[in-house]
A and B are shown apart, each in its own frame.
Chain A
Amino acid sequence: MLPCFPLTFQTNCNRYMGYKTHSLQDMRQQAAIAAKVFLQRDYTNGTVCQFQTKFPSELETRIDKQQFEETVRTLNNLYAEAEKLGSQSYIEGCLACLTAYTIFLCMETHYEKVLKKIAKYIQEQNDKIYAPRGLLLTDPIERGLRVVSCALVFAVARIFRLLRSVTYK
């Protein structure tokens, strides 16, 4: 198979020749080679947003099972909090009804506030736990709350060295 890389990737690799660390910023800028693992939704409790906590076998070599399941469980709890039918949501709903739902144009809903919390949590998890292990979690909202996607990132500098060794034969 002929090696084929986009030209922009090649210029990024030139910049990161001395790349050794796995900081999230570096990964986001140059991470291009990955396999992906998807966690699907769990519908046993109805249509509420919950993800399956089953540990994917592809991640066995990268991360501890307990750690991963803990992350997914926390995400599930956060989504449950967003969709909870409690006094806050009822007050918000009744107030919205009385104002012909125009308050949704002015104020941030409870769900949106929790989504921001979730985004922050995922970023924090990526920074502290997943990026050092060459993994990258994607916020489910970017995938329409269908899946939690976890990308396995391979060391970019290593790939670039392999590429050079092939093209300069």
Chain B
Amino acid sequence: MKNCEYQQIDPQALPTPTPTPPPHQGDGSDRREEQRRPRKKWEVFPGKNRFYCDGRIMLARQSGVLPLTLGLILVTSGLFFIFDCPFLVKQLTSCIPVIGGVLFVFVLITLLQTSFTDPGILPRATPEEAADIENQIDNTGNTSYRPPPRTKEVLINQQVVKLKYCFTCKMFRPPRTSHCSLCDNCVERFDHHCPWVGNCVGKRNYRFFYTFIVSLSFLTAFIFGCVTTHLALRAQGGKGLVFALQESPGRYPLLIKAFFRISYIWSILGLSGFHTYLVASNLTTNEDIKGSWSGKSGEDVTNPYSHKNIFFNCCSVLCGPMPPSLIDRRGFLPADDSAQTGSANSELPTQATKSELNVVGGCSQLAFGFQESPSPVSAPPNSHKNSTSTSA
């Protein structure tokens, strides 16, 4: 199952310890140069994501219509500040641009956070883990025929939940995790892939997303209200609405804005309302669409993750502890070049700090291969092949 990926020891080198490692055989100098420069994990990330600022910012590869979203928000808010605010400040109060400004900043910050944050991506399983899981499946599965796509059932709060095996990430997906085909990653508590923000919405950025759509609803409603008030005040002073429109210096922008605002408002309000319902029942969009807990199949199913109380559900989803990013984008790769890169040349790290030992399989087979050894190694032979740490 495991290939021996090491180079043979040069017997000439054995008696005399060399202080520096001898040059690799068959490797170009380019690869040596590349191996000397310490690389960060985001550079070899297997999913379809883009990274900026040395791994601090991440986006889906297809950023969707994020530039359009930003553009729409900036343009309409800009028009509001330029054309409506001066009039309304004179007629009403100077709080209006302040409130508008606060909402606008809130919307922008939460949008950028939703787009640039890791949504809860699960790193792919290492080869050893994948092999361990394969062994467990072989041992516990039916050997008479090829099993269908692998699933594992677990009992969560007295509810049977099926965990599916992800063939890309080589692991059983935790509950509520789904593999996003656009980003090619498994995302925890996967809600949906939002093209408007250009990223998946999952466990880590759901609260940012929810705050974004709620504050955007407030902003659009606020701007719509101000625009309507503006028109109404002008209409009062003049000869009616048509005259007010003709007189208004920014009448075309006003009309365009009004049109857009009406269409945004209903769609965004609707979306906010839908997500408020999801938050209150501790559901994800994915589960709602699939009807996982609605008892479509006729069985008596309830949502096992819900706290059965709207307030607790809201608190746990929006105010729960912020989980850390699991993909460690800015960590350095160990010198042996992580197995996830698919590199065929895996060596020992010369200074392994916390490195996982990628040389496991080949070396343990090697250790067991020494027949003439009088002092056998302490673990029984082939234990790693049959290791079943847990039974499924």
Contact = CB atoms under 8 A, between A and B. Distances in A.
A133 B132 CA distance: 23
B1 interface: no
Given A36-B384, A52-B390, A97 B319 contact: yes
A111 interface: yes
Nearest to B131: A36
Interface in B190-204: none
Nearest to B335: A8
Contact of A144 (B10, B123, B387): B123
A143 B122 CA distance: 9
Interface stretch (B14-22, B43-51, B83-91, B266-274): B14-22
Contacts of A34: 357, 360, 363-364
B357 A31 contact: yes
Interface string B360-384: 1011111101101101011100011
Given A7-B21, A46-B157, A101-B208, A12 B377 contact: no
A115 B377 CA distance: 35
B22 A35 contact: no
Interface string B269-311: 0000000000000000000000000000000000011000000
Interface in A43-81: 43-47, 52, 54, 56-58, 61-62
Interface residues of B, number: 91
Interface string B108-129: 0110010000000011011011
Contacts of A138: 354, 356
A96 B320 CA distance: 11
B174 A154 contact: no
Contact of A89 (B24, B132, B320, B372): B320
Nearest to A86: B321
Contact of A82 (B312, B321, B367): B321
Contacts of B18: 11, 14
A4 interface: yes
A43 B171 CA distance: 15
A54 to B, nearest CB: 5
B29 to A, nearest CB: 17
Given A7-B7, A100-B211, A154 B320 contact: no
Given A45-B156, A58-B383, A168-B11, A8 B322 contact: no
B373 A162 contact: yes
Interface string B131-173: 0100000000000000000000011110001010000000100
A7 B376 CA distance: 24
A35 B7 contact: no
A132 interface: no
A9 B21 CA distance: 9
A130 to B, nearest CB: 14
Contact of A28 (B126, B328, B353, B367): B353
A101 B111 CA distance: 11
A23 interface: no
A43 B321 contact: no
A108 to B, nearest CB: 10
Contacts of A139: 354
B132 A4 contact: no
A90 interface: yes
B53 interface: no
Contacts of B188: 47
A85 B360 contact: no
Contacts of A41: 174
Interface string A107-143: 0011110010000000000000000001000110111
A111 B325 CA distance: 11
B323 interface: yes
B347 interface: yes
Contact of A101 (B22, B109, B176, B355): B109
B79 interface: no
Contact of A43 (B6, B154, B319): B154
B214 to A, nearest CB: 10
Given A101-B208, A111-B323, A44 B154 contact: yes
Contacts of B132: 36, 38
B128 A36 contact: yes
B347 A9 contact: yes
A168 B312 CA distance: 70
B97 interface: no
Nearest to B105: A100
A128 B126 CA distance: 27
Given A35-B379, A47-B188, A152-B379, 20 more contacts: A3-B9, A7-B24, A11-B21, A15-B17, A32-B359, A34-B364, A46-B157, A47-B175, A47-B176, A47-B305, A54-B390, A57-B388, A58-B383, A61-B378, A84-B321, A92-B322, A111-B322, A138-B356, A164-B14, A166-B370
17 contacts: A5-B7, A5-B363, A6-B6, A7-B22, A35-B360, A35-B387, A36-B128, A38-B389, A56-B389, A57-B388, A101-B207, A141-B324, A144-B327, A145-B326, A154-B378, A158-B375, A167-B11
What are the 4 A-B residue pairs with the smallest beta carbon separation, nearest first?
A93-B319, A14-B17, A35-B384, A6-B347
